[in-house]
Amino acid sequence: MPSIAYFGPRGTFSEQAALVHAAPTDSLVPMDTVPRALAAVRAGDADLACVPVENSVEGAVSATMDALAVDDPLVAVAEVVLPVRFSVLVRPGVSAEDVRTVASHPHALAQVQGWLARHLPAATQTAATSTAGAAVGVGDGTWDAAITAPVAANHYPLDVLATDVADVDGAMTRFLVLRRPGALPERTGFDRTSLVMIASAERTGVLAELLTELALRGINLSRIESRPQKGRLGRYRFYLDFDGHVAEQRVGDALAALHRRCEHVRFLGSYPKAERASSASAAALGNSDQDYTQANRWVTAVRNGETG
Amino acid sequence: MPSIAYFGPRGTFSEQAALVHAAPTDSLVPMDTVPRALAAVRAGDADLACVPVENSVEGAVSATMDALAVDDPLVAVAEVVLPVRFSVLVRPGVSAEDVRTVASHPHALAQVQGWLARHLPAATQTAATSTAGAAVGVGDGTWDAAITAPVAANHYPLDVLATDVADVDGAMTRFLVLRRPGALPERTGFDRTSLVMIASAERTGVLAELLTELALRGINLSRIESRPQKGRLGRYRFYLDFDGHVAEQRVGDALAALHRRCEHVRFLGSYPKAERASSASAAALGNSDQDYTQANRWVTAVRNGETG
C-alpha cells in the first residue's frame, strides 16, 4: 500500500493528479508545500510524490524544479496531464444569487475572470493558499463560493454550483510522480525522459551543441527551460524533456554524450507519456537499437582487422 | 508625463520594478491583472507596462508570456531585475508578539517559511491576491502582518517589523517594461534582445538548428523556455533572450535567419541589460559590424567579377 505525498490540503489539483496514478489501496498524504512533498519521499516517509511541473494552477513550478535539481535525487515513474477546468463549490442550498464572495488560489482566479464576470459579477474575489483551501473556507462560512479542482467536491460537504469552468479551452497542467531511484519503469514505446543539466562552460553556443547531440540521434525534444543557478550569475540549469526511454540505445548514447560534455547531468526519469503518442520513428533515422547494435559490431570488427 | 501600467494594487513588486524605470514625473497606474496591464498599453490607455517575466513572486509569468505572444505586438524598452527580499508590515505599535495572522501571495509565503518559523512561529498564514493586497488587509484589521515588497511601506500607513526577509539569498525576479512598437532604444553595448518564435516544422532537431543560427554568429543565449501552443499538441512557442541589439549586423542577420526558418517570429525588443555586463566580444569571433560590412563588400565584388 504505497503512500503518495502531494501538495495539499485534500482536494487540490495535485491530489487530482495523484488519483489518476494511484491504485485504490494507495494512501494519499497531503503536505503543506511542494518541496515538503519531495522531502517526504527523500526521507522515506512517503513512497511517491505527485508534484506540478508545468503550467501549475497552484504551487510554484519554479520551486518544484529547483527542488528536483538539488538534494538527494528523485526519479519520475509517471506523468499526469490534467485539463485546467474548475468546479465552483458552495454550501448546500446556496444559489448563484446568494454568492457575495468567491475565493481561490490567485492563479486559479486569474483563469476564470471571464466566467466570474458572466455568472458572479457582483461577488468579491479573495485569495486562498490553494484551490482546496478555498473550499475549506467556504465550508466554515468564511467565503460563499470556491473555485476548485473537481476532486474537491469529494472531500468537502459542499454543492457543485458549476463544473468545467474555464475561460480558455485546451489549457493543461502537468505533474510528475516521483520516487527514490530504483528499478525503472518498463519501456513502452511511448516514453519520455526528463533530465536537468549544467553545461561545463559559459561558452556561446554550448546549448545548441548539446541539443544537437539529441537531434543527431533522432531524439525529439518536447520541452526545454533554462533557470539561473542562484548565486552563479550567467550559469544556467537546463531542464529537458524528450521522447524515448533510457533503455533505448540511442537515448543511452545521447545521455552519455551529455554526461561527457556537461559539468553535471541529473537523470529525472524515463516514464510512459500521458498522451501515449508514438515517438518519432527511430528506425527511419538509423537510430533503432538494431542499428546501434550492428554499427557497434562493425566497429569492433574493424578494430579487430576483420573487415574494411 | 508617460503613464506606466503595472500589476497592482499599489505596493506590489511590479510597482517596485516600475519605479526603478520611471522618471519622477511619470504616473504609475495599478491594474487588476498582468494581461490587463498589457491591454492598457495596446489600447493606448497607458504608455508603458511593467510586467513580471521570470521568477515572479506574484502574478503568473506563464500568463504574461502567453499574452505577449498574441494580440497586437508590444516591444520591451527596458528590463528591471529585483532581489526577492520582502518587508514585513504591521499596524503602528504592533510587535512580533502581537502577530496572530500573517498574509501574502502564496508564492511569497512559500519563500519566507524559514523566517516565519523563526520569528512568527505561532502566526496563522493566509493568502492574499498580491503582496500589496496583504498590506491592505493589515491596514483594515483583517490580518496582523503582511509579507510585502519594500515599496508597500510607502503606500500604506503601516510600520516595518522587518526588512530584507528571504530564506534563500540571491533569488531575483525580472520584469520587462513594454510599449507599442516604435523607435528602438539606442544600442549601448550592454543589450539584450527578446523574441518568441514558432518553428515551421515539428521535425526532430529543429530547435538545435535554430539555436545554431545564433551560435554561429557568436550570439550568447541568456534564457530559453518552451511553451505549448494551446490546442496544437506538439507545437511549441520558444521564448529566447540573447545578448546583443538588433541594430548590430550579426543580430539582424540572425533574426533574418530565424525569420526564414520559422513559421512565425515576433520581436519582443532590444533593450539595455539590467546588469550592464558586457556581451561576449563579437569582434573576436569574426562577427563585428565591420566584419559583416567587409564580408558583404567582398561578396558583392565577387559577384561583379572584380575579385576571386
Q: What is the pLDDT of residue A18?
A: 97
Read off the pLDDT band of A32 (50, 70, 90): confident
Q: What is the pLDDT of residue B169?
A: 83
Measure in Å the smallest separation between the Cα of A132 and chain B Cα atoms: 12
Q: What is the pLDDT of residue A72?
A: 95
Q: What is the pLDDT of residue B104?
A: 96
Distance CA B26, CA B4 (A): 7
Q: What is the pLDDT of residue B191?
A: 95
**Beta-carbon pairs below 8 A across chains A and B:** 119
Architecture of domain B1-84+170-182: 3-Layer(aba) Sandwich (3.40)
Q: What is the pLDDT of residue A278?
A: 61
**Quick one: which of B196, B218, B181, B214 has its CA closest to B262?**
B196
Q: Is B48 helix (H, G, I), strand (E, B) or coil?
A: strand
Read off the pLDDT band of A76 (50, 70, 90): very high
pLDDT of A251 higher than 90: yes
Distance CA A42, CA B128 (A): 31
A233 touches chain B (CB under 8 A): yes
Best mutation target, B14, B129, B130, B143, to test chain A (most A CBs within 10 A):
B129
Judged by average pLDDT, the poorest of A140-149, B61-70, B124-133, B137-146 is: B61-70
**CATH number of this structure's domain A183-297:** 3.30.70.260
**CATH number of this structure's domain B185-308:** 3.30.70.260
Report which of residues A27 and B59 the model is more confident about: A27
Contact check, Cβ <8 Å, A216/B205: yes
Judged by average pLDDT, the poorest of B30-34, B160-164, B202-206 is: B202-206
pLDDT of B159 higher than 80: yes
Q: Residues 6 or more apart from B197 whose CB is under 8 A from it?
A: B210, B237, B238, B240, B258, B262, B264, B265, B266
Distance CA B238, CA B67 (A): 14
pLDDT of B233 higher than 90: no
Distance CA A5, CA B148 (A): 30
Could you tell me the CA-to-CA distances from B243 to B218, B252, B269, B275 in Å, in that order? Answer: 9, 12, 12, 12
Contact check, Cβ <8 Å, A127/B129: yes
- Find the residue in A nearest to B218 (Cα): A204
A166 touches chain B (CB under 8 A): no
Cα within 13 Å of Cα(A197), Cβ side? 24
pLDDT of B1 higher than 80: no
Q: What is the pLDDT of residue B2?
A: 86
Measure in Å the smallest separation between the Cα of A304 and chain B Cα atoms: 35
Q: What is the pLDDT of residue A195?
A: 96
Unique residue bearing C-alpha cell 495599478: B30
For residues B87-105, average pLDDT? 96
Q: What is the pLDDT of residue B41?
A: 97
Q: What is the pLDDT of residue B231?
A: 62
3-class SS string, A24-67: CCCEEEEECCHHHHHHHHHCCCCCEEEEEEECCCCCCHHHHHHH
**CATH number of this structure's domain A1-83+172-181:** 3.40.190.10
Q: What is the pLDDT of residue A284?
A: 61
Measure in Å the smallest separation between the Cα of B97 and chain A Cα atoms: 24
pLDDT of B203 higher than 90: no
Q: What are the extents of the domains in chain A?
A: 1-83+172-181, 86-165, 183-297
Judged by average pLDDT, the poorest of B29-43, B210-224, B277-291 is: B277-291
Q: What's the fold here for domain B86-165? A: D-Maltodextrin-Binding Protein; domain 2 (3.40.190)
Contact check, Cβ <8 Å, A129/B109: yes
Read off the pLDDT band of A285 (50, 70, 90): confident
Q: What is the pLDDT of residue A11?
A: 96
Q: Is the dihedral of CA B87, B90, B94, B96 positive or negative?
A: negative
Mean pLDDT of chain A: 91
Q: What is the pLDDT of residue B281?
A: 56
- Chain B, 87-116: which have a CB under 8 Å from a chain A CB? 105-107, 109-110, 113
Q: What is the pLDDT of residues A168-190, one digit of tens each?
A: 888 889 999 999 999 999 999 99
Q: What is the pLDDT of residue A239?
A: 95
In this chain, the answer to whether the domains covering B1-84+170-182 and B86-165 adopt an identical fold is yes
Q: Which helix (H) or strand (E) holds B77?
A: strand B75-83
Q: Which helix (H) or strand (E) holds B241?
A: strand B236-243
Q: What is the pLDDT of residue A307?
A: 78
